[in-house]
C-alpha cells in the first residue's frame, strides 16, 4: 500500500491500495512459477517502500535470480522515469521510458497512481505485484531456493507479534512522516506529528535493552523501521516538518540505526543523493524553490556499541 500524495480528500493523508497482488509460486498454484531470472524488480532508491524490497533482495542473496532497474529519483507529472544518470539507468528489459508503461501493459484501463516497487514477469510481460509487503514476503519465502534459505526475516515463532508491530510501524512511523508532511491544516499536522513522536518514544524505550526490535534477531520489521529512520534527519525532519527531535537525539534509536546501516551490504542500498533530490525537487508544493540542502552531515559509520544487548 502506498500513500497517495495527490488524493487528499480532507485535511489528512489518504492511502491507495496496491493494484496488483499476484503471487509467485513453487507448486503451479499461480500463473507465475518460480524460475531463475524470470522476474525483474523496478524500484527507486529514494522511496522507502521500494528500498525495503531492495534490502530484502540483498539480504537473501537474490541478485543473480532477480534483476533490478533503478528509476530517476526526480519524478514529474509523468511519474517515475528511466534515464541514464548517477545511480539510475534506462530500462534495458522492456525499453520503457516511464514506469506507467508497465502498468498500462498489464492493464490498459489502469488509471491509478503509478508507484514503486514493481515485480515484473519478463515472460508474460506483466506486473506480478506492486505491494512491497508481498514482495518482501515472496523474496523471503518463495524465492529462498534461489538465494540464501538460511535467512528468515519472518520467523514463524514471532509471526503474530511481528505482524502487530509492523502494523504499528506502518501506521505511526512509515506513514506517520507522510501524514505530517502532506497535512493541509495545522490541526492535521499537529495530530500527525504528535502520533509520530509518541511512537518514536515507544521505540526508543523498546530498544533500551534490546539490540533489535525482537532481541538479537534482525527481522523484516527492523528493515521496515530502518527505511524511515535512515531518511528522517535527512529529509523528514526539515522537509516534512517532523522536527520535535532528530533521530540523532535518541540514543537508542540512533545506535540501532547505525547498527543496521553497518550490516554487510546495507550501505550500498542507501543513496542520500537520490533521497534528497527526490523529496526536495519532486515535492514542489512543499518546497517551491526546489533547493536541495547540503546537509546534514551524518556519522553512520561511527561505532554503535550495541553488541552487548540481547
Catalytic residues: 47, 178
Which residues face 69 on adjacent strands? 42
Nine cell digits for residue 267: 550501505
Q: Is 287 exposed, middle or buried (0-12, 13-18, 19+ CB in 10 A)?
A: middle
- DSSP letter string, 105-166: HH-TT--S---S-EEEETTTTEEEE--HHHHHHHHHTTTGGGS-TT--SS-GGGHHHHHHHH
Euclidean distance between CA atoms 246 and 177, whole angstroms: 13
Tell me if residue 81 falls in helix, strand or coil.
strand
Q: Are 64 and 143 in contact (CB under 8 A)?
A: no
130: its cell numbers: 506492486
Name which of 205, 233, 56 is nearest 134 in CA terms. 56
Cell readout for 303 is 561505532
CB 42 within 8 A of CB 17: no
Phi and psi dihedrals of 100, rounded to 5? -55, -25
How far apart, in whole angstroms, are the C-alpha atoms of residue 249 and residue 229? 12
CA distance 238 to 18: 29
Amino acid at each position: 500500500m502506498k500513500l497517495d500524495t495527490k488524493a487528499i480528500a480532507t485535511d489528512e493523508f489518504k492511502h491507495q491500495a496496491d493494484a496488483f497482488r499476484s503471487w509467485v509460486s513453487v507448486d503451479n498454484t499461480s500463473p507465475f512459477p518460480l524460475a531463475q531470472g524470470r522476474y525483474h524488480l523496478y524500484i527507486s532508491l529514494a522511496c522507502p517502500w521500494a528500498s525495503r524490497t531492495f534490502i530484502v533482495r540483498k539480504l537473501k542473496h537474490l541478485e543473480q535470480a532477480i534483476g533490478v532497474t533503478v528509476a530517476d529519483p526526480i519524478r514529474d507529472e509523468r511519474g517515475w522515469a528511466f534515464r541514464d544518470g548517477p545511480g539510475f539507468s534506462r530500462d534495458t528489459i522492456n525499453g520503457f521510458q516511464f514506469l506507467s508503461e508497465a502498468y498500462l501493459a498489464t492493464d490498459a484501463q489502469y488509471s491509478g497512481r503509478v508507484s514503486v516497487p514493481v515485480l515484473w514477469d519478463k515472460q508474460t510481460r506483466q506486473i506480478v505485484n506492486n505491494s512491497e509487503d508481498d514482495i518482501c514476503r515472496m523474496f523471503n519465502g518463495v524465492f529462498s531456493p534461489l538465494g540464501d534459505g538460511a535467512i528468515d526475516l519472518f520467523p514463524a515463532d514471532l509471526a503474530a507479534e511481528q505482524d502487530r508491530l509492523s502494523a504499528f510501524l506502518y501506521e505511526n512511523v512509515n506513514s506517520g512522516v507522510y501524514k505530517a508532511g502532506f497535512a493541509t491544516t495545522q490541526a492535521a499536522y499537529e495530530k500527525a506529528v504528535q502520533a509520530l513522536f509518541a511512537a518514536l518514544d515507544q521505540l526508543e524505550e523498546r530498544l533500551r535493552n534490546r539490540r533489535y526490535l525482537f532481541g538479537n534477531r534482525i527481522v523484516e520489521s527492523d528493515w521496515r523501521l530502518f527505511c524511515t529512520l535512515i531518511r528522517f534527519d535527512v529529509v523528514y525532519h526539515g522537509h516534512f516538518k517532523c522536527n520535535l527531535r532528530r533521530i540523532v537525539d535518541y540514543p537508542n534509536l540512533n545506535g540501532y540505526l547505525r547498527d543496521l546501516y553497518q550490516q554487510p551490504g546495507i550501505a550500498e542500498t542507501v543513496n542520500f543523493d537520490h533521497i534528497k533530490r527526490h523529496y526536495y525537487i519532486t515535492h514542489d508544493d512543499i518546497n517551491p524553490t526546489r533547493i536541495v540542502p547540503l546537509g546534514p552531515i551524518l556519522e553512520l559509520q561511527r561505532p554503535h556499541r550495541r553488541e552487548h544487548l540481547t
